[in-house]
Structure 1
Amino acid sequence: MQTTPVAFSAEQMKWYEQACARIDPRRLQNLLFAITDIHSPTGAARAASEHMAKHLESIGMRARYQPMSFTSGNVLAEVRGSGGGASVLLYAPLDTHLELDEAEKILTGEALEADMQPSAQRVDDWVFGLGASNPKGMVATLTEVATALIEAEVPLVGDLLVGMADGGMPVDVSARQHAGMSNGVTHLLNRGGSPDFAIVMKPWNWVYHEEPGMGWFKLRVHGTLGYAGVPRGTPGFRSSVVPAATVIQELEQWIIDYAERNASGQIKPHGWIAGVRGGNPERPAFPSAVTEIFFDVRINPRTSPAGVKAQFAAFVRDLQARRPELVLDWEMYGSVAGGSTDPQNWIIQSCRRGWEHIEHRPHGEADPLGGQTDGAALRRLGIPTARIGWPWPAQGAPLPVAEGLGGMGATYIPDLIPCAKKIMYALIDTLTRPRSELGL
């Protein structure tokens, strides 16, 4: 896809340069340190949201905290232009994907690394702590972009919105009113936050016009309740645990094939087996009658959750036909559809122009995406949305960080600045024009 050229006027370029000159890496770092130091697991982001509401008000925005429960809420802030322009929402979630309590150690391991701590650390240009990169690096960067734009006194025609919501992580926290799965951004949009366009900041240095959804499945292998003292081959005893090893290998291959079969556009919908559950550690003498395998596969915007469900049903039928000794049942217990925006939409093209202005090269084709964000929900709710990001993970950390996904909590501030300037370009490009120039 080629980027549509739309030139800045000399005046727009002057405004852009003045606004970029106001971007302050140290101020960004200070805010990032402060919000990383506020623990905000999904469904418990109230303190972080209230902090950001006060901060956004302090930079000259009309900001309000929007409660969803006693422990959870969002923040929405606005600066209005002179009128006749579009509204643009800068959006990021506020909640982190981990609680980091004792119960989560089976998920996280010991979690001693700097990026796995619910308190912040600062070393030179780095900030460490749970979520310091994702999502709080995005929160701080978008806030710095808004701050610089206001300080530069750019004569906006359209309205700038900044929104941050709880519930953005791909989790379902039943103890907190089932927080997660984009419940917060839906609440935000339904209560005054719905814009003409949205820009979501997320990792990876590309512009994306679409993002996948996700499908959560449980696959159960049935046997009988057993006893450790029973010899193998005893009539009436059938393990559920040992056959589950075979099922896991079959399922792993199906997930790999599924991703290839359903890849299209900017999306390759990966998936992973998340865990296996069965038995009771307090009763190791009694093998479990049921072993449950649970997993997440991502859903291409051009495939419905029902379509993915049908694909998995076909896999289970085939597996049972090939392995009739297996007794299986399954359910799809969570689903979120993907979302897509027309790649020719103004906000996608504007973000690509900003990307190319900073990178000094054509955008080209983005790496296929499997990560799911609230951007999919924004698009499903009718908001043309661009996702834009920065190189991740950060390299050369001076403190130990976890392998794998970890706490997404190691941020090198200079890595964020080019992304901030790309977003600033799209804001100047969009908010200084009348609606008629934006396809509205």
Structure 2
Amino acid sequence: MKAAPKTTNTLDAKLAQSILAEIREEEIVAMACDVINIPSPTGEELQMALYMNSALKQLGLDVTWQEVEEGRANVVGRWRGSGGGQNLMFNGHMDTSNTGQEAFLTGIGYKPRAVVKNGMIYGLGIYNMKGALVCYTHAVKALMRAGVRLKGDVIIAAVAGEIEKTQWGEFRGKEYRGYGFGTHYLVNHGVLPDMCILGEPTDMHVVLEHFGSMWVRISCTGIYVHTAFCAGREEMNSIRRMHELLSEIMTWISAWENKAAYGGKKAIVNLGGIRGGHAWRASRTPEKTDLFLDVRVPPNIAMSDARREVQQVFFELEHKHPDWGLEFETYVSVPGARISEEHEMVKTIEANHQGIMGTPPEREVVTWCSDASVL
């Protein structure tokens, strides 16, 4: 009986060098500059999608245009294998964290204008994560040039609407539809990889786990009267009431951040927003004040359990202040994600990283979210 052939997670050194030899730096820089120069904030990814559609077709891939809603699309390119292998997807979002129009963001990295300076490429979105889409494209191009033929398919998915945004209240429309909007459509409409790599900006670390995110609103009400008539009733002002509530909420936050810590990272809670009253009518007491929290939830805690934890704090506040009109709402619930360190893809990435870079990659747990929560 013959022994089973030994498997390896690394490429043959000669083959690896032949693939690397087909990578053209000038082509990567040119495409990186192209994608920076296409503004694509959440909800306005169409021109970027058209660019990726053209680039993947020029590469010779089978390209599918998924219109997720009017003016927004995913672009999916598939390099078909010979058959019998597993299918690998590279997924990356086209929308950028900011619009490039924010007056308070003045650095060259915040503008949709490419700048090549001292061997670096600057511009909005290249870090998160248009650069990954460029690298996916040129990795496949290098494989093709080197004459590599794979058994499984390689899929490049450029998706809309990943950035951490959501609709709430009067904030409605496609510019607020993020948090996995495009990738949810992707996986529900026929794109079925066996495994996926997300080229998020990890500083060359291997991220096997990340936290989830839960957004919470806690509100209180108060009286609405003219300033001249609130004397003796100042404590019925909803902003003053929220100030009192905040002291107890901050106590809970401190406890949660330590109790739910995971992978060496605090389960951070951000005071994401607060609003109350009317700037155009400061002569009236505010009838309502809203507090918005972003609660980071580690991948070992179910979102439903985390919600109960926060809601218990609300119940205690409501019991203490029954006439304050307290309200509680969760309006984002994106779970954490994790993959086993024993997964064949993880072992392959780490082995080849060491082969190319000379050292094994560092591993990290991060508190940001990604479309891995969907995938």
CA-CA distance at 1:231 after TM superposition: 5.5
Counterpart CA distance in 1 for 2:349 and 2:241 is: 50
| Partner-residue secondary structure (3-state), 1:42 | coil
Counterpart CA distance in 1 for 2:174 and 2:137 is: 27
Counterpart CA distance in 1 for 2:360 and 2:108 is: 37
Determine the structure 2 residue equivalent to 1:184. Answer: 182
Counterpart CA distance in 2 for 1:317 and 1:31 is: 53
Determine the structure 1 residue equivalent to 2:3. Answer: none
Alpha-carbon distance change, 361 to 250 in structure 1, aligned in 2, over 3 angstroms: farther
CA-CA distance at 1:218 after TM superposition: 0.5
What's the CA shift string for 1:181-221, capped at 9, x where partnerless? 21201212233322011111112232122333211111112
Determine the structure 1 residue equivalent to 2:137. Answer: 143
Is the CA contact 1:266–1:369 (under 8 Å) kept in the aligned structure 2?
no
Aligned with residue 303 of structure 1, among 301, 304, 327: 301
Determine the structure 2 residue equivalent to 1:356. Answer: 354
Is the CA contact 1:213–1:336 (under 8 Å) kept in the aligned structure 2?
yes
Determine the structure 1 residue equivalent to 2:252. Answer: 254
For CA contacts below 8 A with separation 6 or more, give which structure has more relative contact order: 1
Aligned with residue 162 of structure 1, among 156, 161, 177: 156
Tell me the matched-pair count: 365
Q: How does 1:324-339 map onto structure 2 within 5 Å?
A: 328-339=326-337
Structure 1 unpaired stretches of 5+: 102-107, 379-440
Is 1:207 aligned with 2:216? no
Counterpart CA distance in 2 for 1:254 and 1:135 is: 34
Alpha-carbon distance change, 252 to 78 in structure 1, aligned in 2, over 3 angstroms: same
Determine the structure 1 residue equivalent to 2:274. Answer: 276
| Partner-residue secondary structure (3-state), 2:217 | strand
CA-CA distance at 1:363 after TM superposition: 4.4
CA-CA distance at 1:359 after TM superposition: 4.3
Determine the structure 2 residue equivalent to 1:419. Answer: none
TM-score normalized with structure 2 length: 0.88
Is the CA contact 1:97–1:171 (under 8 Å) kept in the aligned structure 2?
no
Is the CA contact 2:257–2:267 (under 8 Å) kept in the aligned structure 1?
yes
What's the CA shift string for 1:69-90, capped at 9, x where partnerless? 2210011111122221111001
Counterpart CA distance in 1 for 2:356 and 2:269 is: 33
Is the CA contact 1:92–1:165 (under 8 Å) kept in the aligned structure 2?
yes
CA-CA distance at 1:331 after TM superposition: 0.8
Is the CA contact 1:76–1:161 (under 8 Å) kept in the aligned structure 2?
yes
Is 1:131 aligned with 2:122? no
| Partner-residue secondary structure (3-state), 1:68 | strand
Determine the structure 1 residue equivalent to 2:311. Answer: 313
| Partner-residue secondary structure (3-state), 2:262 | coil
Alpha-carbon distance change, 376 to 230 in structure 1, aligned in 2, over 3 angstroms: same
Determine the structure 2 residue equivalent to 1:371. Answer: 368
Determine the structure 2 residue equivalent to 1:219. Answer: 218
RMSD, aligned α-carbons = 2.6
What's the CA shift string for 1:11-36, capped at 9, x where partnerless? 73222221122223322121111111
CA-CA distance at 1:96 after TM superposition: 1.2
TM-score normalized with structure 1 length: 0.76
Q: Identity, % of aligned pairs?
A: 23
The runs of at least 4 consecutive aligned structure 1 residues that moved more than 4 Å come to 265-268, 319-327
Structure 2 unpaired stretches of 5+: 1-5
CA-CA distance at 1:310 after TM superposition: 0.3
Counterpart CA distance in 2 for 1:214 and 1:44 is: 24
Is the CA contact 2:9–2:348 (under 8 Å) kept in the aligned structure 1?
no
Counterpart CA distance in 2 for 1:252 and 1:121 is: 42
Is 1:345 aligned with 2:328? no
